[in-house]
Structure formats: C-alpha cells, structure tokens
Amino acid sequence: MSDELCFLSARELRAKIISREVSPVEIMRAVVARAERMQPELNCFITLCGDQAMTEAREAERAVMTGGPLGLLHGIPYTVKDIVNIRGVRTTFGSIPYKDNIPDHDAVAVARMRRAGAILLGKTTTPEFGTKCLTDSPLFGRTRNAWNGDRSSGGSSGGAAVAVASGIAPLAIATDGGGSTRIPAACNGVVGLKQSNGVIPHSQVQDAFGNQTYVTPMTRTVADTALMMQAMSGEDDSDPWSIGIPPGNFVDGSAARGDLRGCRIGFCLAPSGRRVSADVAAAFRGALARFESLGAGIEEMSGEGFEIEPIWRAINHTAWRARFEKLAADHGGELSETFLKQLALAEKVSGVDYQQAMFDRTSLFRRVQALLQRFDVLAMPTITRTALPIDQDLFGTIEIDGKVLEGVRQNWFPWTMPFNMTGHPAVSLSCGFGVDGLPIGIQLVGKFRGDIELLRVSALFEASQDLLAQWPRFVA
C-alpha cells in the first residue's frame, strides 16, 4: 500500500486526507521511504528532511483527528529546489561555497505552501545558482533522468522534475529563468508551468523590476499545478509586478470542462533556421490533431523574430556577473569551469549592449502581444529533441537526428527563453515519447496574466490522452 500512495496525485491525496481514509503520517512514511530508496540511483536531493517531515505529519494528523481547520494542501508532501530559501533548512544554491548556508526566513512561495499545510520533504538538486539547463554541480554530482539513467534530467530544476516523475512527492517548487522548469518537465514527462510575471511573487530576486526569473510549480497533473498556484499566488510587497493582481480561482477555473470550440491556436515547429528531431515533430503534429479534435482552430505562425538567445544571454550573464563576480574571485577553485565561463562571457557585454538587449526585450514582448491578438494560445515543442546524455557539456555540441550542432541553448530549447523575457505564461505538457522511450513535451503559451485559461486548455489536452497511466520503468 505504501508505494501506491506515492503514485497518487496531490488532489487524490487531499481527498483521502479530508475523508480520513489515509493519514498524513502514512503518506509521509511512504514518500520518505521511497526518497531514501531511490536517492542513491537518481540523486535528485541535496538535503532530505525526513525526521522533520514525520514530525509535521504527526501534527497534521492530529489536526485531522481533532476536526481542526485544514489548509488547501494539508498533509501533502512537497519538495523545494535548493535555490529557494527555507527558514532553518540548508539552502546551498547547488554551490560548494554555500554548502552550509542556512537562511533565517522563508521565500514567499515557501511560506504560502506552509500556510496551506503542505509538508517539506527535502531540497532538490540544482546546478550552481540555477545557471544552466543541466542538473549537475561540484557539490552533488549529476541528477539522472527518471526514465533513463544515462540521460540528463534537464535543468536547472532537474531534481524537482525527477522527484515528481518518479513518485517521490507529487508537488515541487522549482524556478525558471530561461526554461529551467519547462526543460526538465519535458525531459521527465511532467507538468512545468512558468506563470505570468508577478502571479507568484519572487521575494529573493535582486532586480525586481527587470526580473525574468520565476518561482514556479512542478507537478505531474494540471490539477495539481492549479492547487499549487492557488496556494502560492497573490500580491506581496516584495515583488512590484505582483501588486494589484486580483486573486484568481485556479482550482475551479482551470478544471477540464467544456471543449475548445472557438479557441484559436497558432503553432510553429521551430524558429527559423532551427532543427527539430523527427520524433518530436511527429509527437507535436499528433498533439495538434488532438487540439483539433477538441474543437480548436489550428493555424501555422511564422518562426521569424524568435532568434533571441543573444539577447537573453546579454541580460542574464550581465546579471550573473554583477551577482557572482566577487564570489568567483574569492572561491574560484570551488566553482565549476562551466559557471566561470558563463561569468566570463559577460565581460564582453557593455552597458550599451545591455540596454539594447532590454530594448529588444520590449520589442519581443510587443511581437508576442501582437500574435496573441490573433490567437488565444501559441503552441510549439518545448525542446527540440529528447533528454541529452548525462555527461552533456553546456559548451559542447548536441546531436539531432545525426546532425551535430553547435550551441546547446539555441538548438535544444529555443522556444523557452522568449517567454521568460516577455512575461507570458508558458507550460510544458507531456505529449508522447521518442524512439528512445523518453518523454516529449509540448509548450503552450497563453495571454499575459491569462494563466487560468491556459491551465484549462492544458487540462483538456491532458484529459484527451492516457499518458498519465505511464510511469518510468526505471523507477517503478
């Protein structure tokens, strides 16, 4: 019975806790045991908090038995990427210099999960400061894909995606600065949402006004994503983009009701000049056919104007240099060569270059806004091929259907970075499997602050297929 609890969604666990069919203690005992059993193979945690989780589960059980008020996520396990602060819990940022760092406060998203009654299981792996699309670092090594241990989990929220995909915990807090939630979601076959700018406050970001990094939900089902959004969203004084956004009813508003008649979907397989593997292209075409069967209108859109990796890099690498130049000077021997290389790239970016990139970011926003006047949703593959090899180098080449290509970012995930820069909601959903048996993801992009409707469209798509019945053989 214990492992059966690990394969239930948060929504199902919530119903069983409320009806007293299952106790939070039983659930936590199951997930702690599973995490401890699978950690040596998957390496998706930096810190496990089993003892504290069991203590909180007993308190949650007492509240159920005494008829006390129960939060939205009462007794449900969740994990937090080790880049997000938790009061009293080691938060390393995946970096050796921070291996003993213990924050004295919670990030807003964590505080809200606590308030909703969720129970922390542990901190999941991240590359140093979440700065690349692969989850490895000198601190903990490599995190393996949930479906195939010889493949990468993606990144930078690889540990979060693997924990969800492998049935360790149904909910995870991740982050996304250029695809860091959606890339590992696609690699591991789970739901990864990057919400609209400001919908979930980001209380740790240093440049709150120019921010394009998000604290995000990672789950296995759209309904569970809606639960997390309900718990974590809402304005907070720490984030100027969150102020004035009215509370949304994510749980009811995103339910898989009705159909998609009248919904206009603009699609594009790849930005101009980029390749997509044959199996990804086939899965994408199959997904579009499912949308048509739900009543949506499908129309191809141009891939021109989306070659934005240089713009994204100018902004991000400059921000990283400002944040980490002193750290690199003081602790260079403890940091990875890849991390130091990325900081060095920013030395070539002038102040004028940076400001031009910000101008270009505004132009991109207006381009996407114009597309979303014509369409209700945009659709494209999340990544151009399935998960890369476990030993992939960020500065190396990648192969797509036998073709060797230079540049991981622009050739593997050209479609994720644009929407960090524009602030539109974007979600990765599983839409099939490659010839190698690994998951393939489709990315859907919604109107600015149209997160609830995007999740409703996602829920209908999810219900139109039976992929949730499949779990990784590697971890079953």
Identify whether 301 is part of a domain.
yes
What is the average per-residue pLDDT within 423-432?
98
Backbone angles phi, psi at 27, to 5 degrees: -65, -50
Q: In which residue are the tokens 């030993």 written? A: 391
- Pairing of the two strands 119-124 and 77-81: parallel
Identify whether 376 is part of a domain.
yes
CA separation for the pair 414, 286 (Å, rounded): 21
Residue 2: the pLDDT is 72
Identify whether 475 is part of a domain.
no
What is the average per-residue pLDDT within 55-74?
96
Render pLDDT for 196-217 as a digit per residue (tens, 0 to 9).
Answer: 999 999 999 999 999 999 999 9
Quick count: other Cβ atoms within 10 Å of Cβ 278? 12
Average pLDDT of every residue of the chain:
97
For residue 247, name the pLDDT band (cuts at 50, 70, 90).
Answer: confident
pLDDT > 90? residue 385: yes
Identify whether 239 is part of a domain.
yes
CATH number of domain containing 407: 3.90.1300.10
Residue 205: the pLDDT is 95
- Over its C-alpha atoms, the chain yields an Rg (Å, rounded) of 21
Containing structural domain, residue 388: 2-469
Identify whether 204 is part of a domain.
yes
Neighbour order of strands in the sheet with 439-445: 45-48, 119-124, 77-81, 171-176, 214-219, 191-194, 426-433, 439-445, 377-381, 264-267, 297-300
Identify whether 474 is part of a domain.
no
Residue pair 307/313 in contact by the 8 Å Cβ criterion: no
What is the average per-residue pLDDT within 208-234?
97
For the chain, the domain total comes to 1
Residues above pLDDT 90, as percent of the chain: 97
For residue 367, name the pLDDT band (cuts at 50, 70, 90).
Answer: very high
Residue 1: the pLDDT is 47
CA angle, 78 as apex, 93 and 158 as ends, to 5°? Answer: 45
Render pLDDT for 72-96 as a digit per residue (tens, 0 to 9).
Answer: 999 999 999 999 999 999 999 999 9
Rounded to a whole number of angstroms, the distance between the first and last alpha carbons of the chain is 14
pLDDT > 60? residue 420: yes
**Nearby residues of 218 by Cβ (< 8 Å), 6 or more positions away:** 157, 160, 161, 164, 171, 172, 173, 174, 181, 184, 185, 190, 191, 192, 193
Residue 474: the pLDDT is 57
Residue 291: the pLDDT is 98
- Catalytic machinery residues: 81, 156, 180
For residue 425, give both structure tokens: 């909601």
CA separation for the pair 335, 419 (Å, rounded): 29
CA separation for the pair 450, 223 (Å, rounded): 16
How many CA atoms lie less than 13 Å away from 168 in the CB half-sphere?
35
Residue 68: the pLDDT is 84
Q: In which residue are the tokens 């720490």 written? A: 238
Cis ω for the linkage preceding 157 (within 30 of 0): no
Residue 476: the pLDDT is 47
Render pLDDT for 341-364 as a digit per residue (tens, 0 to 9).
Answer: 999 999 999 999 999 999 999 999
Identify whether 426 is part of a domain.
yes
Render pLDDT for 248-285 as a digit per residue (tens, 0 to 9).
Answer: 999 999 999 999 999 999 999 999 999 999 999 999 99
Render pLDDT for 155-195 as a digit per residue (tens, 0 to 9).
Answer: 999 999 999 999 999 999 999 999 999 999 999 999 999 99
Identify whether 183 is part of a domain.
yes
Query: Beta partners for 443?
Result: 380, 428
